[in-house]
Structure 1
Amino acid sequence: MPTSRAPLSTRRVLQAALSLADSGGTDALTMRHLGRHLGVEAMSLYRHVANKDAVLDGILDMVVSEIDLPERPGDWKAAMRHRGVAAFRVFSLHPWAPPLLMSRTNTGPSMLRYIDFTLGALRGAGFSWRLADYAWNTMDSYVYGYTLRRLAFPIAPADYAETASAHQHLLAGDRYPHMAELTRQVAEGHHPGDPDITFGLDLILDGLERLRDTEPTDLTPP
């Protein structure tokens, strides 16, 4: 149903666009559909947003603004873990966002704050500019990928044991002994079957710490 005809503004247009993207993905987000949702002609939208690309950039920045960042980095590993978990939770609410973030140049204020916080925390922890840049991109690649996998995976974590039990007959005999044993472990509740996002984050952070400690000293200002 169209919304009431309150005065249009850039923020109102973007909020409506975010709602449409969350409910139907960005493929369903056309200027005509957005105008219909707001109860106006599509041409009226161009007084507030330049085009669909501007809409996509705007709603991406709105999503990134929802990511909770620590007030002060403090312990860099704890800050990066917090950042990664917070991003995963936000992206899980907006599943269309990770693919778009990976395919666009994002220069909105929230994205710039997100990146600047990350670089500042890493530089403050003694990372060179080169390694800080690699670290930021590696962490984000993992968070995006983990989020997409969790959203697309056909089995809910609560159903892993039951599903594993139902598939045990496929692994009878000696052909797949390692898969058979892992499936038994999950079916009998000895192993949960899927790692929390912090498992991979901690592996990355521990590896980055080792690289930092062997990196030549970077004397440029933090």
Structure 2
Amino acid sequence: MAEQAETLRRTPLSRDRIMRAAVALADATGLESLSMRNLAQNLGVVPMALYKHVANKDELLDGMIDVVVGEIDPLVPDAGWKQAVRARILSARQVLLRHPWAPLAIESRNMATPAALAYLNSMVGTFRAGGFSADLAHHVMHAMGSRILGFSQELFDASRNAGRTGPTDPAPPAPLPPEVAARFPHLAEIATAASHDDASVVGQGCDDQFEFEFALDLLLDGIERLQQQGWTSFSAPARRAPDSH
């Protein structure tokens, strides 16, 4: 163990090594505990050594996000747009399950990182190559939202996972208290309906992966129908502009 630590200290410090060490530290202890001091300690260097490669923590987070996005599988060659998009989004989800801090980091940035921009650009390119107009591709990206990067904020997980973002471990939904169920009977009804039976391929409870894929397939099926119909925002029913006050 001492020999490994000594080898680590002798390994030349680089930006890539710093970023990968930061990802590993965030994986182990969470994003909130990540600091330049802790990272330097893990790398066996003084904090000032990091600043020769990384200007500040914001730049560190950007680099960490790029490392994570770089783990997403490339587009499937010679596949239709629907298959290619679905496979890549599910790959992104698996990556974020390995790095549960990443969705919060992604959402915290004012601008997408270079790797994230390249990923989003390639996804738009897939839609365009699949025959989508720029107009439809624009609205599709809005509809997909964070799901295009493999995560979403789950409505029914809001109270269970307060303060957390991204994929979460599946857990059976807690039953609503009787007085709440009586006041909101429709919510109570679907809360119990969400429990899959023993024969279900997704098992008992409200399975996060199942729900993610269910919503993703709903979106992709609807998007495919719009694309086949030659839909444009100009042909959509006019909507009244919201009141300005």
Q: TM-score range by the shorter chain?
A: 0.7 to 0.9
TM-score by length of 1: 0.77
Over 3 Å counting, the alpha-carbon distance change for 1:125 and 1:31 in structure 2 is same
Over 3 Å counting, the alpha-carbon distance change for 1:130 and 1:208 in structure 2 is same
Mapped to 1, the partners of 2:31 and 2:193 lie a distance apart of 41
Task: Give the number of equivalent residue pairs.
Answer: 209
Mapped to 2, the partners of 1:98 and 1:182 lie a distance apart of 26
Q: Deviation of residue 177 (structure 1)?
A: 6.3
Instruction: Provide structure 1 residue ranges, at least 5 long, that are not aligned to the other structure.
Output: 218-222
Mapped to 2, the partners of 1:63 and 1:140 lie a distance apart of 18
Which residue does the alignment assign to 2:54?
Answer: 49
Q: Is the 8 A contact 2:196 2:205 kept in 1?
A: no
Is 1:121 paired with 2:126? yes
Which residue does the alignment assign to 1:220?
Answer: none
Report the residue type matching 1:123 in the other structure: R
Mapped to 1, the partners of 2:219 and 2:145 lie a distance apart of 11
Instruction: Provide structure 2 residue ranges, at least 5 long, that are not aligned to the other structure.
Output: 163-167, 234-245
Any idea what the Cα deviations from partners look like across 1:68-92, whole Å, max 9, x if unmatched?
1324262111111111211111111
Over 3 Å counting, the alpha-carbon distance change for 1:210 and 1:25 in structure 2 is same
Which has the larger displacement, 64-73 or 88-97? Answer: 64-73
Q: Deviation of residue 140 (structure 1)?
A: 4.0
How does 1:107-186 map onto structure 2 within 5 Å? 107-108=113-114, 110-142=115-147, 143-145=150-152, 149=157, 152=161, 157=170, 160=172, 167=175, 175=182, 179=188, 183=192, 186=195
Q: Deviation of residue 198 (structure 1)?
A: 1.6
Q: Is the 8 A contact 1:69 1:82 kept in 2?
A: no
Any idea what the Cα deviations from partners look like across 1:22-58, whole Å, max 9, x if unmatched?
1222221111111111111111111111211111111
Is the helix fraction higher in 1 or 2?
Answer: 1
Mapped to 1, the partners of 2:69 and 2:194 lie a distance apart of 38
Over 3 Å counting, the alpha-carbon distance change for 1:138 and 1:102 in structure 2 is farther
Is 1:202 paired with 2:217? yes
Cα RMSD, aligned residues only: 3.5
For the residue of structure 2 that corresponds to 1:74, the secondary structure is: coil
Mapped to 2, the partners of 1:53 and 1:185 lie a distance apart of 40
How does 1:10-159 map onto structure 2 within 5 Å? 10-72=15-77, 74-104=79-109, 105-108=111-114, 110-142=115-147, 143-145=150-152, 149=157, 152=161, 157=170
Over 3 Å counting, the alpha-carbon distance change for 1:51 and 1:44 in structure 2 is same
> Percent of aligned positions with the same letter in both sequences?
38
Mapped to 1, the partners of 2:59 and 2:104 lie a distance apart of 17
Mapped to 2, the partners of 1:26 and 1:62 lie a distance apart of 15
